[in-house]
Every structure is written in C-alpha cells, then in structure tokens.
Amino acid sequence: MASASCTKPTFIPAFTSASSSSKSSSKSSFPSFLKSTSIPISLKLSNSYNFQRSLVVNYALKTTVSSQFPVLTSKDLESLSSASTPTILVSEKLGGAGLEVLRSFGKVECLYDLSPEELCSKISSFDALIVRSGTKVTRQPPSLVVLSLMHQQANTVAAAEHGIALLTAMSRNVAQADASIKAGKWQRNKYVGVSLVGKTLAVMGFGKVGSEVARRAKGIGMNVIAHDPYAPSDRARAVGVDLVSFDQAISTADFISLHMPLTPTTSKVFNDDTFSKMKKGVRLINVARGGVIDEDALVRALESGIVAQAALDVFTEEPPPKESKLVQHENVTVTPHLGASTKEAQEGVAIEIAEAVVGALKGELSATAVNAPMVAPEVMSELAPYVVLAEKLGRLAVQLVTGGNGIKFVKVVYRSARDPDDLDTRLLRAMIIKGIIEPISASFVNLVNADFTAKQKGLHIIEERIAMVDSSPEFPVHSIQVQISNVDSKFASAISENSQISIEGKVKYGMPHLTCMGSFGVDVSLEGNLLLCRQVDQPGMIGRVGNLLAENNVNVSFMSVGRTVGRTKAIMAIGVDEEPDCIALRKIGDVPAIEEFVFLKL
C-alpha cells in the first residue's frame, strides 16, 4: 500500500487521509466550503500552474481530508483548458474502460505497487495521478485536480448486495463451514444456521445503500424496520418499511445492518450501552464504516452472547491488526472492504471518473468540483463570513433534529438592507444545504450540486427575504434564520412558537454568532463545540455548570444566557474548546435546575 507524502518545499501541505490527524498548514481565509473531503484520486495538472488555478473535484465524502482550496475564477478554468497533452499516472487498479477513456485523451502509465518513495518521486514527472483508497496522499502539489473514485450509483448496488451476501453467509456459517471442510473436517452439526424468513432486520441508515438492502431483505421474506432520523417517512413507506426510533430498532431486531455514515454523532454509536439494549443473540452486519462500532465493546458483546454473530466489511483501522480479537473471533465473518468491489461497480465508476478527469483537464466544470466558481471573486470575498455562518447554522440545525417525519421542509429567512438585486443568496443557500446534509450523509455538497443533492434527499428549501429598511446596506446580510419544520428536536427549546426548529445567526466582528434559538435570544460565537442548557432562571447556574466543565478540564470560550421573562426559564449557550466526557455531561444533566441540555459539535 503506497503513501504519497511529499515533502518538497514547493508542495503545499493541503490534504491528508482520515486516519492521520494532521491539518492543513496553509492558513487560508477561505471558508470550509472550499475544503476537499475525499482524495482517492488526484490529478496534478502541471507543475507550472499555481495553486489558485487548480480545479478540485470531489466525488464523495469517503476518506476525510482536511484541505482548503481557493475558489476558482472563470479565467482559471480557461487556463486549465489550455494545458498541453497531460501525462497521467495510475498507481492503483482502475477499470479497463476508464483507462481507455483516459488513453484517448492523454498519455497513461499504470504503475501499481510503487513504494511511497517511488510514488513520490514519480509524481513530479506526471501531470496527473490517479489513486484508489489504498494510497494516502498527504501533501498536495501546487496544482491538483482531485477526484474520488468512490460512491457512484454503481457502488450503492454493490454495497447493498455485499450487505445481503454477508447477511445470508453469516446466518448459514458459510465462511466457517468452508474453512472447516478445507481443514479436512465434516461438521454438519456444528454449522446449523438460522433462517431469515420472518426475522426482523433493522436497517440503520435509510439512505442509498440502506434502502436497497431493505428492498432486497424484504424479497427474502424478512420483516424490515429502519432507523434514520433524517429520512423522509414516505420514502420508507414506499419500500414497505417502518421508520422507528434507535432504541426500538436495536431492541426488536434479530439482525441489524449498518448503513449510516461515520459522523461525530454515529462514531462508536454501537457501544457497551447500546449492545446491552439489544435482543440476546442478535446478529450484526457492517458494510458502512468501521468507526460506527466500538470494536472492543463488540468483542465483549460477542463473548457475553448478546451478539451471536457479526459480519464485517469495514474496520476502524484498515487493514485491521493481524492479532485483532474481533477479526479472529470464531463468530465473526470478515471481508476486506469489498462493498464496492464488483466488476460492474468498478468499471462503471472508472468510466465516470475518467470522463470527469478528462472533462476537468479540458477545463469543464464538474458537478463534483470543490472549489467551483460561479460567484464573482469580489462577491465571494464580501460573502465569505456569511458563507461560514450559513454552513454553521445548517450544521447546528440538523444536529438538533431527533426524529419526526424526516427533514423535508427547510425555510431560510435572510434579513438584509440590500436591494434584492444586490444580494445573490445562491452561495448562502448552498452552504446551508451543505451544513444540513453533510453531517448526516455520505454525500459531498458544493455550490454546483447543492440544489440537486437537496432534491435527491427530498429536501424542499424555501427562501424569504425581509427588507431591513432602517438599517445600512453596508453589510450584505443582517441575519440568517434557518427553520426546519415537522421534526422533533433533541433540545425542545430550539422549537419556536410555530413548532419548527428555528435558529438565527449574525456575523459579528467577522465571526459567525448564534443569536436566537427557538424563542430565546442568545449570543454565542459559533466556534468549536456548543453546550446548550435550558434551566430555571436562578442565581448560581453559570457557576455550577462552569465548575463541572472546569473539573473536566474543559475550557469555556464563550457564554451567553438568554431568557424570555426573568426568573422563569433561561437558555445558557456555552462555547467550549474541548469535548466534555460522558461523566461531565451526566453531571450537568443531573443539576436539578437544568431541564434539558444538548452538546453539539460545530
């Protein structure tokens, strides 16, 4: 497995793989909208290009990387198209049809199994580099077109089929029985399986892959339920599946199949606590991401018999350590991240990628471009802080949703003193969509694909402009309000009088601030993490919560208290640099005057 980690001084340290914690060292004033999040394929256009002239294209939110790319102007796109015949290095296996497309456009060389050093030295003599997820590109040459190989429609079907393959193979001990017979044994009694018909399968995450798994499982006679706090219930009904709460799903299922993305909310969501709520003898399938399971807790659950069997395609660390207790467990069936590995998926994806690469090299705008231009640079620089605010508000609003009928209706209200023709809200809308979709999905959202992605997810976005006649048009936007209707919230105080989750923010001193939540006015900078508490408005509350955070060595960065009427209810919004541990959070919840609280990562 190669790792391209170039350290030449001319290279800008721009991205790194998820497993590495290093961050971009190029301090850019550009908002996170311009961050690339997936690097399975990268193309370096030409050494002579400077960084500003790279088109960064991203197909999926697969391998998380941290990088920042300046937005392109239309001139940059023209420059891309004037590149001479490119030379393309393919360092991992790419489908033949994709190679043909590339060969029809440039000079292609396939050099597999290069050492990191060899790859690093080779890169400089090529215009383009194409890798799969086996290569970690940790530094970016000044001019890169970056494409991700994964997450096309073909992958969805492939992953769903693999989920079903693991489900059926596990229930009939296919892998274990195969190993046994090859070891010269004939153990018919040992490998008696369990039937699937009439059993309940809980699909956790009813997105592209989950819904396809559900469809197929129903076809083999299973009773399918699903948990997905953000999926529209009508979409589930159309497949004949009931959406249920997390606890209901895990406590009633005989089989649990995981199809949610790895996010701060889903990280290790299957842990000692949640395993203890499952039916004894439950069977678990994971074709999503290893990190959603606490793997040590799964070993304990297998040993105690809570989990009878597990079938895993993905692991926290890939490949997992050889001595991994989980992988070696006799009731565990494993495959080496094969979900997307069918000939059809690989060919289909290879063609799409190759066409997109060629398109990018021709200077065409890809719907997966991370730094796609569409907004004039002057407008972009004026809107930059509002872009950050818009994304944070979307991110915050979606984290407050806990269930209901799925996220369907989002209303955005802009208050502005500008003439309607003088405020282009497309970028802000795209960022709100990005903020709402990315924390809960495997999709990558940018300016070009935002509206399409929202539509695909069944999200209706309505925008309203409220003219601020008595204020100065010096600033483009006075405030942005995001409302999500028909949903339940994990923080009831975020629900406004119109029964919607409603949050509002402003840019203050160039920084995004939360200024209203539900009916409560607050004022807290949207940075780092946020702890929201609703409490009885009485003396000593700030001190008590502050002390509990201090005991946990958590530093408070901002704090604000808002109330409707004095000495009744108040909301305390506390910005914290670190994440309080579960004990500290439990202690905060145990303070008698605190009626509800929620911890959110921004």
Ligand X SMILES: O=C(O)C(=O)COP(=O)(O)O
Ligand Y SMILES: NC(=O)C1=CN([C@@H]2O[C@H](COP(=O)(O)OP(=O)(O)OC[C@H]3O[C@@H](n4cnc5c(N)ncnc54)[C@H](O)[C@@H]3O)[C@@H](O)[C@H]2O)C=CC1
- The set of catalytic residues is 289, 318, 337
Sheet holding 401-416, edge to edge: 460-467, 401-416, 479-489, 501-508, 511-517, 520-525
User: CA separation (Å) from 62 to 22, 140, 402?
Assistant: 17, 18, 24
DSSP 3-state of 375? coil
Task: Give the integer Cα–Cα distance in Å for 286 and 448.
Answer: 32
The two beta strands, 332-334 and 307-312, are: parallel
User: CA separation (Å) from 66 to 40, 292, 293, 527, 529?
Assistant: 13, 20, 23, 17, 18
Which C-beta is closer to ligand Y: that of 2 or that of 260? 260
Which among 438, 459, 439 is positioned nearest to 58, based on CA atoms? 438
Instruction: Choose, by CB under 6 A, the member of 39, 128, 146, 150 that binds ligand X.
Output: 150
Choices 100-108, 145-153, 276-284, 352-360; region in contact with ligand X by CB under 6 A: 145-153
**In the bound complex, what is the minimum distance in angstroms from residue 319's beta carbon to ligand Y?**
14
Could you say which of ligand Y, ligand X, none residue 408 binds, taking C-beta under 5 to 8 angstroms by partner kind? Answer: none
**Residues 305 to 344 in contact with ligand X, rule: CB under 6 A:** 337, 339-341
Which positions from 44 to 83 touch ligand X by CB under 6 A, shown as an x/- string?
A: ------------------x---------------------
Helix (H) or strand (E) holding 136: strand 136-137
Contact (CB, 8 A) for 446 and 369: yes
**Residues 179 to 238 in contact with ligand X, rule: CB under 6 A:** none
Could you say which of ligand X, ligand Y, none residue 241 binds, taking C-beta under 5 to 8 angstroms by partner kind? Answer: none
Residue number with the smallest Cβ distance to ligand Y? 207
The answer to whether 443 contacts ligand X (rule: CB under 6 A) is no
Q: Which residue is listed with tokens 């502050």?
A: 546
Residue number with the smallest Cβ distance to ligand X? 150
Choices 49-57, 150-158, 179-187, 585-593; region in contact with ligand X by CB under 6 A: 150-158
Which C-beta is closer to ligand X: that of 89 or that of 345? 345
**In the bound complex, what is the minimum distance in angstroms from residue 62's beta carbon to ligand X?**
5
Which C-beta is closer to ligand X: that of 149 or that of 584? 149
Helix (H) or strand (E) holding 257: strand 255-258
Task: Give the integer Cα–Cα distance in Å for 549 and 471.
Answer: 40
Q: Where are the beta strands (DSSP E) in 289-366?
A: 307-312, 332-334
Residues binding ligand Y (CB under 6 A): 62, 155-156, 159, 204-210, 227-231, 259-262, 265-266, 287-289, 313-314, 337, 339-340, 440-443
Could you say which of ligand X, ligand Y, none residue 222 binds, taking C-beta under 5 to 8 angstroms by partner kind? Answer: none
Task: Give the integer Cα–Cα distance in Å for 532 and 545.
Answer: 11
Task: Give the integer Cα–Cα distance in Å for 106 and 360.
Answer: 13
Could you say which of ligand Y, ligand X, none residue 204 binds, taking C-beta under 5 to 8 angstroms by partner kind? Answer: ligand Y
Which C-beta is closer to ligand X: that of 151 or that of 429? 151
**In the bound complex, what is the minimum distance in angstroms from residue 406's beta carbon to ligand Y?**
8
Which C-beta is closer to ligand X: that of 206 or that of 386? 206
Could you say which of ligand X, ligand Y, none residue 133 binds, taking C-beta under 5 to 8 angstroms by partner kind? Answer: ligand X
Which positions from 123 to 142 touch ligand X by CB under 6 A, shown as an x/- string?
A: ---------xx---------
**In the bound complex, what is the minimum distance in angstroms from residue 235's beta carbon to ligand Y?**
9
Helix (H) or strand (E) holding 504: strand 501-508
CA dihedral 171, 172, 175, 176 (to 10 degrees): 100
**Cis-peptide into 229, omega within 30 deg:** no
Which C-beta is closer to ligand X: that of 132 or that of 283? 132
Chain contacts with ligand X (rule: CB under 6 A): 40, 62, 132-133, 149-151, 155, 337, 339-341
